[in-house]
Copies of this chain bind each other. A is one copy, B any other.
Amino acid sequence: VRKPVIGVMGPGAGATASDLKNATQLGKQIAEKGWILLSGGRAEGVMNAVNQGAKAANGLTVGIIPTNDNDGTSEFVDVAIITDMGSARNNINVLSSDVVIACGMGSGTASEIALALKAKKQVILLTDDLEAKIFFKKLGGNNVLLAESVEESISAAEKLLKSVR
């Protein structure tokens, strides 16, 4: 049986210090659980931090890359999937994840949350963007879980995995 895949979605250049700290911890704890980490795979922001955290705990990391080569890929990605399809790869990010965690907020991240909800996936939001929480909770109902911390996110992911697999 395949290991669970947890997708962590979050901004690149626009990530806050808090997002980066959360992402590093998310990556670490995902790896410690024995789950596979999937992300947008680029060498910046939440994408880089979450992969770095997972590798620090010897996790397996998969990056879904928007460009046509690895020039912008995080050094902490083990398996780089080269899509050359720009933001359309965001749909692959969420479809390939058993559970999606949004860490931080931005237009790319918002598209991933919306695409996840469109695909009837459950999404855990870890962000201090209040307007995002209100909007996506209204949009997704029970498929959106609001987490206040990394620990709550991991705990929610663990519960969701039992229902989706």
A residues sitting closer than 8 Å to B (CB atoms) are 2-3, 5, 36, 60, 62, 64, 68, 70, 77-92, 95-96, 105-108, 110-111, 114-115, 117-119, 129, 131-132, 134-136, 138-140
Contacts and interface: CB of A to CB of B under 8 A. Distances in A.
Contacts of A95: 68, 82-84
B114 A110 contact: yes
Number of copies: 4
Contacts of A70: 2
A107 B118 contact: yes
Contacts of A108: 114, 118
24 contacts: A5-B79, A36-B79, A64-B81, A80-B96, A81-B92, A82-B96, A83-B85, A84-B85, A84-B92, A84-B95, A85-B92, A86-B91, A105-B139, A107-B115, A107-B139, A108-B114, A110-B117, A111-B114, A111-B118, A129-B138, A131-B131, A134-B134, A135-B135, A135-B136
A91 B77 CA distance: 21
Most buried by B among A70, A83, A132, A138: A83
A51 to B, nearest CB: 12
B107 A79 contact: no
